[in-house]
Amino acid sequence: MAATVYKALADPTRRRILQLLRERDMTAGELAVHFESSKPTLSRHFSVLSNADLIQGTRDGNRIIYRLNVTVLEEALLTMMNMFSIEIVGGDKNEQ
């Protein structure tokens, strides 16, 4: 896993973006509705996530649709679990 992934996950706005994309693909504008930051600021967050390969954007005419790279996120977390030799049993949901 690239080191960029950890940095990408370190920011609360970016974690929230990933959570939103977990539910469905969204355009930059749709995502922006959920935040108070300016669009340029969010755009840079997108690019950080994109560089970490956690999300991927495809242009659709006027807009850019972002989707979560689920497997990359999964592998990143599993790698961390292994890195620290954490064993798993079960689990619930939600939290920030």
Q: Which is nearer to DNA, 67 or 78 (CB)?
A: 67
- Could you give the CA distance from residue 65 to residue 46 in angstroms, rounded to a whole number? 11
Mask: binding to DNA, 62-81, rule CB under 7 A, as x and -?
xxx-----------------
Cβ atoms of residues 46 and 55 within 8 Å: yes
Instruction: Please compute, for residue 17, the number of CA atoms within 13 A of its CA located in the half-sphere on the CB side.
Output: 35
Strand partners, 59: 64
Out of 1, 32, 65, 72, the only residue in the binding site for a second copy (CB under 8 A) is 1
Mask: binding to a second copy, 57-96, rule CB under 8 A, as x and -?
----------------xx--xxxxxxxxxx-x--xxxxxx
